[in-house]
Amino acid sequence: MPMSTLVNYSGDDDFYPGGSFYTNPMDSGLLVSIGSCMDVYCPPRKRSRITAPYIFRENNLELEKRPSIDVLPDECLFEILRRLPGGQERSSCARVSKRWLMLLSSIRRTEICPRKSSQSLNESSKLDKELTIPVPDDIEMISAEDRELGSDGYLTRCLEGKKATDISLAAIAVGTSSRGGLGKLSIRESSSSRGVTNLGLSKIAHGCPSLRVLSLWNVSAVGDEGLFEIGNGCHMLEKLDLCQCPLISDKGLIAIAKNCPNLTALTIESCANIGNESLQAIGSLCPKLQSISIKDCPLVGDQGVAGLLSSATSILSKVKLQSLNITDFSLAVVGHYGKAITSLTLSGLQNVSEKGFWVMGNAMGLQTLISLTITSCRGITDVSLEAMGKGCPNLKQMCLRKCCFVSDNGLIAFAKAAGSLEGLQLEECNRVTQLGVIGSLSNCGSKLKSLSLVKCMGIKDIAVGTPMLSPCHSLRSLSIRNCPGFGSASLAMVGKLCPQLHHVDLSGLDGMTDAGLLPLLESCEAGLAKVNLSGCLNLTDEVVLAMARLHGETLELLNLDGCRKITDASLVAIADNCLLLNDLDLSKCAITDSGIAALSCGEKLNLQILSVSGCSKVSNKSMPSLCKLGKTLLGLNLQHCNKISSSSVELLMESLWRCDILF
C-alpha cells in the first residue's frame, strides 16, 4: 500500500488488507509500527455507535451476529409487548423506536396479559439480556410538564399545530396508561401533511378507554374511521366537540351515538358532511344528552332538529342553533318539546319567519326557559317578541342582537309580558328609541335588575316629560355603551326612574356632559359602587367632586379613561372621600405629579389597581408618591408616560416587588 495512503488515512475505514497488525487487537497501543524507521500516531477517538447487534472475537476482527428482537415480525413483537408487567415497563419500551411505540399504542387494555410470576419474570429478564435493543434518541414520551390535571381531576392534554401528530397521540396513549388514562384531549389546527389522522385517534381509543372529553378543531385528516375507533374504545365519552372536520360525516357520529351512551354535550361547527341522520341517532341513542350546539352545518335541517328534541327521553337543557337551514317547523318543535330547556340561543336563522317565533312562544312548552339569546333573526318582530314574553313565564335573561324589526312597541309589550325578567340586553337594535327604553323601564315589573344598551343608533336625545311613569326600583345595573344619541336628557330621565342603581357604565358616550350625569348621581339613593365613564370626553372635575361627595363611602371602582378634562382637583376629592376605592383608572387624563402626590396623602385610601397610562404630565417626580401608594397596590400601569424614565421604573419595581407594573 502506498505511504501516502497511510499518512492521509482518516481513521474511518479499515485500511490494512491483511488483517490486524497485532495478534490481539485489544492490546494495540497508540503507535502503529509501519516499518523499522517510521511510526504513525493514531489519536484516540470516540468509538462509533454500532446499532447492529455484533460482537468482536479476541483473536480476530471477525464479527459474530447476536440475536436481535428487531428481526421479529410485528405479530410476534406485539405478543411480547403485551406481556410487559407494568405501565413503567411499557413506557420504557416505547422509547426504543417508533415501531415499538406504535405497536404498544395499538394494544388495548383488555389485551394486556396479567402479571407473570417471579420465575417467569426472571426468565424474561435473561432473554432481554441476550437481545440487543437499539435505543434511538428521537422518541419523546410524555413528560411531567406536558401533562395537566384539570380542575375536575381528569388528565388533560392539548395538541396544537406542529405538535399535533399521530406519534404524539401514540406517546400520550402509552404514557398516560399507568396514570389512569387520559380524561380530556384537545387537538387544534392539525396540518394535513403530517398531522393527526385516523391512525392517531385509534391509538387514543386503544390506550385511553377512560377518555371523557374530545375536541377536534380544524383537523382535516380525521374522518369517520377515527370516530369509529373512539366509539368502540372510549365508551365513557361525555363531551364531543367537532369544528371544521370536513371528512367526518353522519357515519362517524352515528358510531359515537351507538357506543357512547353517557354523552352529555355535543358541539358541531362547520362540518359540511354532518346532517340529519346522525342527529336523529344522537337524539334516540344518547338519553343523557343535556347540551347541543350546531353552527354552520349546511346539511342539518328540520328533521335533524326534530329528531334531537322530540325524543321521549330528552333532557336537553342547553340548545344553540346558529346559521342553519331550518324553518319555522324547527322552532315549533323547540316550543313544543323543549320542556327541559333552560338556555336557548338562536342566531342567523334566515329561513325562520315571524310565524316560527310566534308559534314557539305560543306553544307554551318553554316553561323552564331562563336565558334566551336571539341574534340576526329577521323573524323577530314586535308580534313574535310579545309572544315569546308570554310563552316563557320564567325567563330571566333576554338578549337581542341585530334584530332590525324590533321597535319600541314590541319592546314595551315584551317588558310587560315577561314578569320574571331580571336582565335585558339590546345590541344594534336600531329601531328602538328613547321612548322604548323609558317605557320598558317603567313597565318591566319589580324584578328587572340589569339593563344594557350597546350601539343602538336609533336612540336620540329628546327632552320630553315623564308623566305617569312608574319608577323601576329593582334596577341595580345600567350599561349604555357606544350609543352616541343617548345624551343628557335621556340619562336624566333614567336617573329619575332608577334610584337604586349600584353599577353604571356609560363608556363611549362622548356627548355626555356634567349637566346630564349630575342628576343621575344625585338621584341614586343606594350609593354607587362601580362607575365606568371611559371615553366621556366632555366630563369635568365637577362630576368627580359630586361623585366623591355623594358616593365616596360606597365607591369601589372608578374608570375615567380618556376623560381629558379631569385634573388634579378630582384626585384631591378622591383621596379625601373614597375610602373603599380599590380600582382607579386615570388613563389619558390631565393629571400631574401634584395630583399623584395628593392621592398618596389619602390616609385611609386602599388602592389595589391604579392606571395612569398616557398621562403625559406625570413624570419621575411622582416616584416617591407611587412608592407610597405601592404599599397596597397589586397592579400599576405606567405605559405611555413619556416623562417617566425606565431607570426610575426599575427602582420602583425593586421597591414594589409585590406589584405588577406595566411600563
**pLDDT recorded at residue 461:** 82
Q: What does the DSSP assignment read for 530-589?
A: EEE-TT-TT--HHHHHHHHHHHTTT--EEE-TT-TT--HHHHHHHHHH-SS--EEE-TT-
Instruction: Specify which residues 65 forms β-bridges with.
Output: 54
Name the residue among 290, 339, 294 with its Cα closest to residue 317: 290
Q: What pLDDT is stored for residue 489 in this prediction? A: 85
Tens of pLDDT, residue by residue over 359-394, are 999 999 999 999 999 999 999 999 999 999 999 999
- pLDDT tens for 48-100 read 444 444 444 555 545 555 556 666 666 676 666 666 666 666 666 666 666 66
pLDDT, position 100: 66
Question: What SS3 class is residue 598?
Answer: helix
Torsion of CA 330, 334, 335, 339, to 10 degrees: 160
Sites in the chain below the pLDDT cut of 70: 1-75, 77-153, 175-180, 190-193, 312, 463-468
pLDDT score of 603: 82
pLDDT of residue 171: 80
pLDDT of residue 120: 46
Dump strand ranges (E) for 603-644: 609-611, 635-637
Please indicate, yes or no, whether the overall pTM of this predicted structure exceeds 0.85.
no
Query: Which regions of 161-226 does DSSP assign to beta strands (E)?
Result: 184-190, 213-219
- Please work out, in degrees rounded to the nearest 5, the angle formed at the alpha carbon of residue 180 by the alpha carbons of 174 and 182: 65
The pLDDT value given to residue 623? 95
